[in-house]
Structure formats: structure tokens, C-alpha cells
Amino acid sequence: MKPAAKNSLTPLPMKARMKVPRQLMPEQPANERNKNFSEVNLGYSPELAQQEALRCLECAKPTCTVNCPVGVKVKEFVELIVAGDFLGAAAKIREDNVLPAVTGRVCPQEDHCEGKCLLSKKVKPLGVGYLERFVADYEQRMGTHVLPNVPPTGKKVAVVGSGPSGLTVAGDLIQKGHKVRVFEALHELGGVLVYGIPEFRLPKHIIRQQLDYMRRMGVEFETNVVVGRTVTLDELMQEEGYDAVYIGTGAGLPQFMGIPGEHLNGVYSANEFLTRINLMKAYKFPAYDEPMLDLNGKDVAVIGGGNTALDAIRSALRLGARKAYVLYRRSEAEMPARAEEVHHARQEGIDFQMLTAPVELLSDGKGWMTGARCVRMELGEPDAQGRRRPIPLSGSEFDLPLSVAIMAIGTTANPIVQSTTPGLGTNKRGYIQADSETQRTTRQGVFAGGDIVTGAATVILAMGAGRRAARSIHDYLTTGQW
Ligand SMILES: Cc1cc2nc3c(=O)[nH]c(=O)nc-3n(C[C@H](O)[C@H](O)[C@H](O)COP(=O)(O)OP(=O)(O)OC[C@H]3O[C@@H](n4cnc5c(N)ncnc54)[C@H](O)[C@@H]3O)c2cc1C
């Protein structure tokens, strides 16, 4: 396809920029989208993108870039949008971010670029995420990715795990001329981006396009390889000749509350629930049938307040749930989910029961769950992380009838690689120890980053770790110094 004719706009005087309202993201109407898995946000048109880009104040010291874990040059790519050079803008983002169509959709911009945007002192911040998504999608439609052309170094790097941190390492190192092979335990590539985040927020074709681009750059992928079982990390280095290894295995082991009744039929971890929807294709109903997820007419609750919780409950609603509750033990101010997802979930009809936690899951006596006994909470003093601690209110117990409860209270490290790699240091929670600047582990030639080091965090933080790791792997491979 030929790129659209350039439509360069003249930048506005500073004061006028503040007067342009933030351009709304077109979206599917809430009462339609809560019955399908198609994407909620529909994306900016070129006209909307340019109007939004005109709002940028072009700060001398752009705090948006400083606060981006991968350092995307926001001011520069936004200027290119104003100038009508959308492909140039995409190329500018790609200098720092190998997954712009992903981060444009799921990054918690309010905590990074948009949270620090100078505009937000007076009006709404620049829609950096929406603009990033626009140019990434535009570039994809035009099919004009520029492939890097670098001489091979003869060095080989193994990347364990194909989530955003592993993909970032692979994308950065292939551009330095190293041979890169990604080993993935599952049959699908993409980590949480594919098996966790649902189609209505991050369509799978977006990940596939990014993966195709990486393949064309020369990255090799091998699925169904559980490092630590199929092959050990030592075998990769000593027998298969990898000069360095990056571990980006995520934190996918679900946690449960330890309350009575969690063994009952109808209780899922969010991880299992979302994996069934995403990888067993329940989201393509009625073409694919996943009988365990026939939620028609059932009352469903998710326990938790993060992105995972909202993804699970919004999916349950789309699969036919009659009532769909979020049970969260703190208040909305403490919810870790992205602000946009909370807003969308409310519009779709999710019932938020704040300051509420289950203490027992109730049974019909035949092994099936019939409800949750809950208590109301109040917030006390801040805990070690600075979040106010929930305290049960005595006498506040009540029973909520439910057929399905989904636990989304957090995940932890899967121990397979750590337990099969002698000398690889871990902390007391089982996460891999890695230097926060270089991502080096306690084993020479082995680097780690993303959720397997920090615990469950965000896509952009995992990518930031991947970038730092790629830089230090390159240093290690080119200088030989550890
Ligand atoms: C449902 C859900 C929604 C989320 N929504 C958001 C959001 O909107 N915004 C946001 O910023 N963050 C979100 N997050 C968090 C974000 O997805 C993670 O922080 C991020 O994916 C971590 O990236 P990672 O590369 O470290 O690990 P992962 O994405 O977990 O990828 C790790 C990969 O390693 C593979 N693996 C594990 N062990 C092995 C092994 N032994 N051998 C080979 N491969 C292995 C796994 O199968 C997986 O594919 C969400 C998380 C979940 C679960």
C-alpha cells in the first residue's frame, strides 16, 4: 500500500496549544462491546492524531521521555506527526521501543509519560499512548518496516521466555548483529501479551505482526521448550554454544488466598481463566467451544484490583455472566489497574464492590461453589509499600451468591530455571537476583529481567529491563569482560 499524501500542519503558538482539547479515542459503545471480544479502542484517524499532536508543548527538557522506562523520544515523534511524516514518527519510536503497537495500547501512561506531561498541570496530558498506537498501526498498514542491515558478530544469545522483556532483548541484540534464538515454554509466543491480556485490549494479530517483523530481522523462535526441563541453561551454554543467556520467564505462578472453599468447582486462578480464553480460543465463541467457560446466566466475581482482575471479569461478562463483580479489599484510589481499564469496566456494567474481601467460598455440599462469604473493610495505616492497610469491619459479614470466583490476587516466580541452574542467585521470594543497571545475574554470561526479577510489574518496566540487558549483553560479548 502507498503511504497517504503528507499533510503537514503548522505548529500552533504555545498558548493556543493549551486550548486544543485532548482528542477522544473512538471506541465501541459499551453496551455492544460488553458482548464481544473485539477491540474496545478503535484508534485515531490521521486527522485526530495530528490534532492531538498539535497539543505538545515541545518542552526543552521533556519529562515524558525521562519518565519512560525505555526512553521513547516523545517530543521528536510527535513533531513528525504534526509534520505529517507518520512513518518517520514510527521509525523514531522504534529507535527505543520494539513493541510500539503493544505499549501504545497497554502501557500505564498515567504513571510514566502522560503522568509527567507539563500540560497536565492545567489541562489533560498529551495522549502519548494514543499517538504511539496510531503511528505503529499506520506503519503496520503501510507494511514499510525498515529492516536493519548489520554485519554478523558471530556471537550467539539465547533468550528464555518470549514476553515483552525477552522480545525487547531479542529485538535490540539482533540489531547489533548477534544471532538470537528465543525459547518459549508455551506453543504460542508473546508471554502475558498473548496468554493473559484479552483480545479486546490487545488483539493477537498485533503481537503476531510484531513477531513477524522480528523474524524478518532474523530473530529465531522455538516454542514448546521448557528451559530447565527440555534443556537446561548449562546445556544451552556448554553444549549448544550460546555465549550469553537472558532469562525473561515472568512471574506466572498464581497465588491463592488460603481461605476455605478455594478447592471447589467454579474457582479459578485468573491465570488459568485467561489462558483458557486466550489460548483455547474461548474468545472466538461460538466458533470455538470451551464448555467450562459457559457463563451464561451465571454470577461471577473476581477477587483483586489489578489489570489481571479487570481483564478476567470483563472477559466473564463477554462470555455471558449475568452479574460480574470486582471484590477489592481497598478503595478505588489504591487500585493498581490502569485508569482507562477501570473507566471502561464501569461503562460496561461491572459491579465494583470496594473495601470488600471474601473470607470463605461456600459449597452446595457436592463440590460446587454457590457463593462467597465476604466482609467489608476500612483502611488503616499505610503498610511497608505505603498503601493503606485494609482492616475487616466486625459484624459486616454478608453472603454473595456466585457460581464462579476468579482469584487475581497476584502471581509469583516459577522456579524451574532457578532450581536447575547451579550458582544462579535468587532472593527469598524466589526471584532471580540481577543488578538493576546491567541485569547481570550471579552467573557469568547470564542476564535476567522483567517480572522474574522484579515480581509482577508492567510491560514497559519489563521492556526497560530488556533494553538495559541488551546493552550489557552487547558490552559483554564485545569486550569479554564480566
Ligand atoms: C492478565 C494480565 C494483564 C496485564 N495487563 C497489563 C497492562 O495492561 N499493562 C501493563 O503494563 N502490564 C500488564 N500486565 C503485566 C505485564 O503483562 C507483565 O508485567 C509483563 O508481561 C512481564 O513481562 P515478562 O517478559 O517479564 O514476562 P511474561 O510476559 O510473563 O513472559 C514470560 C514468558 O516466559 C515463558 N517461560 C516461563 N518459564 C519458561 C521456561 N522455563 N522456559 C521457556 N519459557 C518460559 C512464559 O511462558 C512466558 O511466555 C498484565 C499482566 C496480566 C497477567
CA of 465 to the centre of ligand 1 (A): 13
In this structure, the dihedral spanned by the alpha carbons of residues 226, 457, 454 and 422, taken in order and rounded to 10 degrees, is 0
Nearest residue (by CA) to ligand 1, atom 13, is: 458
- Using the Cα atoms of residue 338, residue 50, residue 212 and residue 151 in order, give the sign of their dihedral: negative
CATH code at 14-142: 1.10.1060.10
Q: Which three cell numbers mark 235?
A: 546445556
Residues paired with residue 253 on neighbouring β-strands, in sequence order:
412
pLDDT of 319-363, one tens digit each?
999 999 999 999 998 999 999 999 999 999 999 999 999 999 999
Question: Ligand 1: which atom is nearest the Cα of residue 202?
Answer: 8
177 sits in the region (left: phi over 0; alpha: psi -120 to 50; else beta) called left
CA distance 120 to 230: 50
Q: Which residue has the cell 465463541?
A: 285
pLDDT of residue 139: 92
pLDDT of residue 287: 78
pLDDT of residue 146: 67
Nearest to 128 by CA among 93, 178, 180: 93
Terminal-to-terminal C-alpha distance of the chain: 47
Domain boundaries, the chain: 14-142, 156-252+413-479, 254-410
pLDDT of residue 280: 82
DSSP string across 413-442: ---HHHHTSTT--B-TTSPBP--TTT-B-S
Q: How many CB atoms lie within 10 A of CB 7?
A: 13
Q: Is the pTM of this model over 0.85?
A: yes
pLDDT of 131-184, one tens digit each?
999 999 999 998 766 677 789 999 999 999 999 999 999 999 999 999 999 999
pLDDT of residue 6: 63
Q: Are 371 and 266 in contact (CB under 8 A)?
A: no
Pocket mutation for ligand 1, best pick of 412, 459, 463 (most atoms within 8 Å of C-beta): 459
Q: Which three cell numbers mark 318?
A: 463477554
Q: Which three cell numbers mark 75?
A: 517530543
CA distance 47 to 52: 9
Q: Which three cell numbers mark 127?
A: 495522549
The angle subtended at Cα 292 by Cα 288 and Cα 297, nearest 5°, is: 95
Q: Residues near 129 by Cβ (< 8 Å), separated by ≥ 6?
A: 103, 104, 105, 107, 109, 113, 114
Determine what percent of the chain is predicted with pLDDT higher than 90: 88
Q: Which three cell numbers mark 121?
A: 498541570
Question: Ligand 1: which atom is nearest the Cα of residue 228?
Answer: 41
CA of 193 to the centre of ligand 1 (A): 7
- Site residues for ligand 1, CB cut-off 6 Å: 106-108, 160-166, 183-186, 191-192, 196-197, 225-228, 248-250, 252, 274, 307-308, 311, 338, 414, 416-417, 450-452, 456-460, 462
CA distance 482 to 466: 18
Q: What CATH class does 254-410 carry? A: alpha beta
- What kind of architecture, by CATH, is found in domain 156-252+413-479? 3-Layer(bba) Sandwich (3.50)
Q: Residues near 394 by Cβ (< 8 Å), separated by ≥ 6?
A: none
pLDDT of 88-108, one tens digit each?
999 999 999 989 999 999 999
Question: Ligand 1: which atom is nearest the Cα of residue 271?
Answer: 53
Nearest residue (by CA) to ligand 1, atom 27, is: 250
Pocket mutation for ligand 1, best pick of 109, 111, 167, 192 (most atoms within 8 Å of C-beta): 192
Three-class secondary structure of residue 57 per DSSP:
coil
CA distance 174 to 278: 29
CA of 312 to the centre of ligand 1 (A): 15
CA of 106 to the centre of ligand 1 (A): 13
Q: What is the mean pLDDT of each run of 10 residues along the chain (482 residues)?
A: 67 91 97 96 97 96 95 97 96 93 95 93 95 96 77 96 97 95 97 96 94 93 98 97 98 95 97 92 79 88 97 96 97 92 97 98 97 97 86 97 97 94 96 97 98 96 97 97 93
| Alpha carbon 160 to its chain's center | 18
pLDDT of 299-315, one tens digit each?
999 999 999 999 999 99
Q: CA of 46: how far to CAs of 34, 115, 143, 283, in Å?
A: 27, 24, 17, 30
- Helix extents (H) in 241-355: 270-279, 307-318, 339-348
Same fold, 14-142 and 254-410: no
